[in-house]
Structure 1
């Protein structure tokens, strides 16, 4: 009977069939009979359908991690990278396999079944809304790679991440965490220690013999992160007003556009370090009816203050010794222009509200999720340059007009003999609207005059069905089909013409897609578990890619920063998993393939005023394939030593690009050929635990043509980071931990500098 999977596979692929799958409610737990391969914990079911590589993490994994923010809890996951530039970074985009760190719209992220993916855009500044939950509130992380389940729409092209939070135990319960962190940072003119701290707590109650439960939590976080941007001397024209010293010549840097060949790539200053304060409050209420229905409601408030008011210049006037912040200067006998230093302040208030119902109805298991996420206030004030910043002079004010999204998902399931049938529907609408004003005082926003606007909406509704068929001998065949209907509408730009607002509207667009899915899983000879999955997916453009433009320091829209004519991305995916136990070690091998037609490429550019911006274009065909090896061991070599280790290799190359054929055959930007992550955990004694983690990625290309490669600011670099942690549970209620991230102080870059060696200390209490 062990060979039945081979026979079934032969018969299946000898006869062409149409199959599919799509978006379902993330809180539906996978049936044990359908879950053959899940890497990680198996004590509780995964909360997403585990087709393709599935990873599940729990408290045992979390205890070994220096978790400053919630996304840190995933950092040792296979073939995975989190673009977190500093503690408290709002722009922590995840990269799974060949979905790179500016393709944020290729991953669906849910918290307790509610969508927190920010599909208002698709670049570095549209990450998931991680901060609706603090790290101490997380009970389980489930990560599934690829679009192999019909329950998820095309945004699952990279994968699905589901975060499950803590639930109250019977009676009253309380938890608290106090944490501090510090990071000495040295680069160019910086030699400074940045510090931060957080306070997190929760109070829960569950009736012993009653239907009600409630959990309330809060988190206050403050930190100063290192500067994100270094400013280079640009091409200068005219006469220098001063001869200066103090710039740092670095030949590793990308040469600014138009810089003379006899001019050096010289760093003269840096954007302000980032002062960030975040406050979060959560309330979750649950009710269980006598008829088996569970009703839960979630409300989250998240407030952010971010100040960049301390830009640095290392230029010194050679005659007077005074600092120089901007203007034409002479450095090493060449005339340059020093520009781009500004000041800014951001205030943002965001809300998440969600309602979930799940229970039996006429023999079916039904689940319904409804949620709304909105940015109630987003006020960004910035100066035009350094001098106006210091003098509270001219600048710009950018206001967001309640951007956000609505989502809903319905799933219905039941078993009928050998069949597990499921069907459902889901819908979402994302809307954005931003107004920019020129102001005479950037701090107070006085003297505001209208400059420009960008706005638009997108919506997707989908239908899906799937059937998991038990073929006997532990072999399960799952076939599914998904239909999506997409619409982009109400998009436009506003500009000021002779003091009046004039709007230009874009034409509405509609499109649809059918996405089949197919998965076969079961045993092979020799104690091997296997799963083969196939799928198609279509990822439609986000409202930000289509309609929302970036701005320069004067508040003008950058015409190349959006593209209302983008085509949807279409992928063909395949995954093969093989798993076997070798004594105390379980090994999982994974082979994967993905062809993406009309892949959306986010290119970066720099304006003469040092403004960084992103634009979007379609690349005709990008192909990726690769292999992963994952090892899990408990009590390996000695009792108390556990290990999780993984190694991944990928080829991700442009296969066709009519816009610029030079890109053909070149590794796609920001995707390394090699990744290796892992974590060793050792129980030294009953109250003591120690861990060692590592993260490695080889050097990727920084641009589509593979011409920009390096380990310096502006480049996507390789990284090799080691982390340590020691925990002491000195009573049953209290635990003290100390750890170091980036132990050997490896300098790495995601264009921006990544954190250097960081010390983290936390005290946890559980009552």
Structure 2
């Protein structure tokens, strides 16, 4: 039986079934956790979460994405405050599969579908935590309204609209006493935010303008290691180094990549017009970002007892504790500066037209500047000597969404279209002076474009009291074009490609008794390759071009998904059980390997079939077990494996990389009095495999490790205008890894005011 036939059969069964009449009216959406004062902003098919101020109050939030870190079976890869690679993971979605998460702000797309890895996170920096009024999360691709990038899930941020004319401000300070290997530093940071909101008393216009400045010093994200060499040849004797037998590469730790100094500035303006049924919204935001790593630290000492950063003598060979190694002086203890400036502009119009409620959203994100400069070794860094420049040429995306909705009797019909265009261009140069990128010599250029056009239809049918069935269908038409690679004088152009898919959806929701609700959601989804996966090549750390870092022949991912929910509302306590299943053909995965110089290199490949299923238990308590106590807690068991992989048979039957078997999140909030709140948060993830073959499992540098972090926060509202808080993230100082180290114990203080 085909998947489409299965959907049709289940729809007929749902229509012909007899539904018990609910004795009380309940919301049509099954929201398992969160606020219910405002409607969820995403179509709630499958597991759905809506978070608001009540939940936000229990979080130490320095980044926007911090506000959702306790959501059920959810993970935010945030390594430090101000992290530029904070991708999100749903259920069994790998954190390098960033293109499987559709993230929006007020309906404007901020997901970076230029690529699919840590380097392409959502543009979180365009919104600050204080601007956010609501965070909605829906798991899986069960609504036809959204593209195949919703294969993992959907996140929408709703920002605060002015309710009156006001001014506001917020200051934060944080410190992380970091201790690992030979690096011991107290890392300080802080942020300042201010703005104003204006709302006409008797008019349709409102305006909110804000700006934020964040500065933070973060732990080193990488460490240098010596490379074992054959004995016998002349070598420079050295001492020091750190031995970590638990690290991924079994070689002495030579030093760190330097603590990173992060600078971020944000300017944001949002104009709204509301008159009757007409709503217009215009958004513009600019984000300046700079990351500087200028002080790498060595743990080694040379023959003279001074710090040793490598030497050209003896071809870089060194002798440590009687063993021979190499330390390439041109690839070690580099200095680096990364700059990224981007802006987002969007326009949304909603109005009734010819009996339909029409909503149209148009947005673009543009990179004004995106470049990374790096020295060739320590001495070149100090003297502004030779280095590497990686720069983006024209890189941007445009998205358009139009939806027409109308209710006709028992039918709530939605029709619409989506369109997007993504463009990338990346250039690599060698330079004589790395800081100012002087006298660049061309190495490579790669780039290309993708385009997607989608149409959908969805019909939410109220069949009887408490029973709703929503069939839908989505068709997508995809094209890649203008793909090119230039290496010196050699020019390669890639033939354009076209593809299309039709994906059916079905969701049946039944409120079958007072306080009881269940929902079955079925769908297929197609995630086409990103322009970066197809065309954007990269330079390895040694300056060589990585010919495997992209693949113009990648196939689209295609999933079959199912989710069954059962919710029991007991008044102050709500319990939800969830079973989910996903089978994906042609999963795109990024393999990590090493080139001839023992430098890490990435390779994109299709995996024939992967599969995940699991169970989730979610509890939400309000004023229970006694007045003033709120609890959100959830546990998930995930079984995600590679079913078939002809390119790597050893991976078959193995738990998929970076996916834990257990994940638990919880947030407890105790309202001591009307103005004082104490909160505890906890996140746990069991130890996953760090590679697709299941051979690499560990709890140190280079691995994805077990995670157990506890957070605490105490906040107090002094009056209607002023509030203060103090908190600790990672209270127990758990040392965890996502290859890179995650922040250790971090203290935060905050004060905010409103006039």
Residues 465/10 of structure 1: CA separation in 2 closer, same or farther (3 Å cut)? closer
For the Cα contact (< 8 Å) 2:228–2:251, is it kept in 1?
no
Structure 1: segments with no counterpart, 5+ residues: 1-8, 19-30, 256-263
Q: What is the CA–CA distance in structure 1 between the aligned matches of 2:408 and 2:444, rounded to whole Å?
A: 58
Which stretch has the larger CA shift, 523-532 or 377-386?
523-532
1:425 equivalent to 2:414? Answer no
What is aligned with 1:308? 293
What is aligned with 1:26? none
Q: What is the CA–CA distance in structure 1 between the aligned matches of 2:291 and 2:377, rounded to whole Å?
A: 18
What is aligned with 1:283? 269
1:531 equivalent to 2:519? Answer yes
SS of the aligned residue for 2:548 comes to helix
Select the residue among 325, 333, 348 that pairs with 2:340.
Answer: 348
What is aligned with 1:124? 118
What is aligned with 2:652? 664
Deviation at 1:38, TM superposition (A): 4.3
SS of the aligned residue for 1:324 comes to coil
Deviation at 1:12, TM superposition (A): 5.1
1:222 equivalent to 2:220? Answer no
Q: What is the CA–CA distance in structure 2 between the aligned matches of 1:139 and 1:617, rounded to whole Å?
A: 40
What is aligned with 2:252? 266
Q: What is the CA–CA distance in structure 1 between the aligned matches of 2:509 and 2:494, rounded to whole Å?
A: 47
Residues 289/473 of structure 1: CA separation in 2 closer, same or farther (3 Å cut)? closer
What is aligned with 2:590? 602
SS of the aligned residue for 1:746 comes to coil
Deviation at 1:15, TM superposition (A): 5.0
1:42 equivalent to 2:42? Answer no
For the Cα contact (< 8 Å) 2:33–2:632, is it kept in 1?
no
Deviation at 1:609, TM superposition (A): 5.6
Deviation at 1:677, TM superposition (A): 0.2
| TM-score, normalization by structure 2 | 0.95
Deviation at 1:662, TM superposition (A): 1.1
1:236 equivalent to 2:221? Answer no
Residues 419/214 of structure 1: CA separation in 2 closer, same or farther (3 Å cut)? same
Q: What is the CA–CA distance in structure 1 between the aligned matches of 2:8 and 2:481, rounded to whole Å?
A: 46
Aligned residues: 733
For the Cα contact (< 8 Å) 2:32–2:618, is it kept in 1?
no
For the Cα contact (< 8 Å) 2:659–2:688, is it kept in 1?
yes
1:208-607 equivalences in 2 (<5 Å)? 208-236=201-229, 239-255=233-249, 265-289=251-275, 292-326=277-311, 327-339=316-328, 340-497=332-489, 502-525=490-513, 527-607=515-595
SS of the aligned residue for 1:567 comes to coil
For the Cα contact (< 8 Å) 2:376–2:388, is it kept in 1?
yes
What is aligned with 2:623? 635
Deviation at 1:569, TM superposition (A): 0.5
Which stretch has the larger CA shift, 211-220 or 338-347?
338-347
Deviation at 1:33, TM superposition (A): 5.8
Q: CA RMSD in A?
A: 1.9
What is aligned with 2:19? none
Which stretch has the larger CA shift, 225-234 or 551-560?
551-560
What is aligned with 2:175? 182
Deviation at 1:386, TM superposition (A): 1.8
For the Cα contact (< 8 Å) 1:69–1:134, is it kept in 2?
yes
The superposition leaves residues 395-438 of structure 1 with CA deviations (integer Å, 9 ceiling, x where unpaired) of 11222113110000000001000101110001000000011111
Q: What is the CA–CA distance in structure 1 between the aligned matches of 2:31 and 2:301, rounded to whole Å?
A: 62
Deviation at 1:563, TM superposition (A): 1.3
SS of the aligned residue for 1:323 comes to coil
Deviation at 1:636, TM superposition (A): 1.1
Q: What is the CA–CA distance in structure 2 between the aligned matches of 1:553 and 1:710, rounded to whole Å?
A: 24
Select the residue among 609, 614, 630 that pairs with 2:602.
Answer: 614
Q: What is the CA–CA distance in structure 2 between the aligned matches of 1:683 and 1:147, rounded to whole Å?
A: 37
Which stretch has the larger CA shift, 205-214 or 239-248?
239-248
1:156-171 equivalences in 2 (<5 Å)? 156-170=150-164
Deviation at 1:34, TM superposition (A): 3.8
